[in-house]
């Protein structure tokens, strides 16, 4: 069987593309990926997505999108693409032992945040541990927070968080920062920002409350550990776009898919949406918008 359209990923971008393409009668097949619903499923409250004045949990938002797409005939499968051959149309996608072919393909596989690798980090994700200051910053009004990282992303997060937090600690495991000079200078002049360099987070503390109450920091030069109080830990050590199976086929830049003229990639009939190509905005609403673009572009391609 050759499908009209296969969508890889079931986050905001993938499910929005599914809604639009299903309403157009394309009967899209969605391979959910290793993290069904994407990064939004680890976000507790979403207050900046239009149409929900009281807010909504990330998990509920992606679930509603999925149900809306299924209402119009989209089919979701709990599988993740493990191989892609885009050398000829119809395209070949493998998910484990299963094979699928499609005339058009939307890649909405997202980007996975890099984590510290701590058990407490995963356990407290959404309970004080966050990977998105823009998403979760307003929940940390008048309390101290920690930002882990030394690049521009970490400094952008820290600067944004000063609008809400009482104090922002930038924790970096080296004494040299990777952020641009202008970002560092801006942080140094902000009275709410403190630098904790040559320090690494060895544990995130909750004092039995199942929410962040502090962090344990290890001095990388002396080995001495120190605990500081904080209510939020923002991990900003980079993201990895999920594009490995497309290497050597799709045009990539810093592992992100390059798109032109809307959502079009360098291969005709293949489109990209969401964080897999967006390393700047990375919001639920921008992912949804790019999913709409990809679906319309795919529809036009198939009609032509």
Q: What residues are annotated to the active site?
A: 132, 135-136
Query: Going by DSSP bridges, is the β-strand pair 98-107/111-113 parallel, antiparallel, or unpaired?
Result: unpaired
Whole-angstrom Cα distance, residue 51 to residue 85? 39
Measured in whole angstroms, the distance separating CA 179 from the mean position of its chain's CA atoms is: 21
Q: Are 73 and 27 a contacting pair, CB within 8 Å?
A: yes
Give CA–CA dist 37/62, Å, rounded.
6
Q: Which of 239, 272, 275, 294 has its CA nearest to residue 84?
A: 272
Longest dimension (CA), the chain: 66
Burial class (CB in 10 A: 0-12, 13-18, 19+), 197: middle
For residue 235, what are the CA distances in angstroms to 121, 287, 288, 292? 9, 21, 24, 29
Q: Which tokens in the block code for residue 168?
A: 């922002």
* Distance in angstroms (rounded) separating the CA atoms of residues 162 and 145: 9
d(CA 204, CA 215): 4
> What letter would DSSP give residue 110?
-
Instruction: Give the strand pairing for 252-253 and 256-257.
Output: antiparallel
H helices, E strands: number in the chain: 7, 21
Q: Which residue is it, tokens 């051959």?
A: 85
């Amino acid at each position: 069987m050759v499908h009209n359209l296969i969508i890889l990923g079931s986050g905001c971008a993938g499910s929005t593309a599914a809604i639009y393409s299903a309403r157009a009668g394309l009967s899209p097949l969605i391979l959910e990926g290793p993290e069904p619903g994407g990064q939004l499923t680890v976000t507790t409250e979403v207050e900046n997505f239009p149409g929900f004045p009281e807010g909504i949990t990330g998990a509920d938002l992606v679930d509603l999108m999925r149900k809306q797409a299924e209402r119009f005939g989209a089919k979701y499968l709990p599988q993740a693409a493990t191989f892609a051959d885009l050398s000829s149309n119809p395209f070949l996608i493998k998910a484990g032992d299963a094979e699928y072919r499609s005339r058009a393909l939307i890649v909405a596989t997202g980007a996975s945040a890099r984590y510290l690798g701590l058990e407490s980090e995963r356990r407290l994700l959404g309970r004080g541990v966050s990977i998105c200051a823009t998403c979760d910053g307003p929940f940390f009004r008048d309390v101290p927070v920690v930002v882990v990282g030394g690049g521009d992303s970490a400094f952008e997060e820290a600067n944004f968080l000063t609008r809400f937090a009482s104090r922002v600690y930038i924790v970096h495991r080296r004494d040299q920062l990777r952020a641009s000079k202008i970002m560092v200078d801006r942080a140094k002049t902000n009275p709410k920002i403190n630098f904790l360099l040559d320090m690494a987070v060895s544990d995130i503390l909750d004092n039995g409350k199942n929410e962040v109450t502090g962090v344990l920091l290890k001095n990388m030069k002396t080995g001495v550990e120190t605990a500081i109080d904080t209510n939020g830990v923002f991990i900003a050590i980079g993201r990895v776009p999920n594009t490995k199976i497309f290497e050597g086929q799709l045009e990539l830049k810093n592992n992100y898919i390059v798109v032109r003229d809307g959502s079009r990639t360098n291969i005709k009939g293949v489109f990209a949406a969401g964080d897999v190509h967006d390393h700047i905005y990375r919001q639920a609403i921008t992912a949804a918008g790019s999913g709409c673009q990809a679906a319309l572009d795919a529809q036009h391609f198939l009609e032509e």
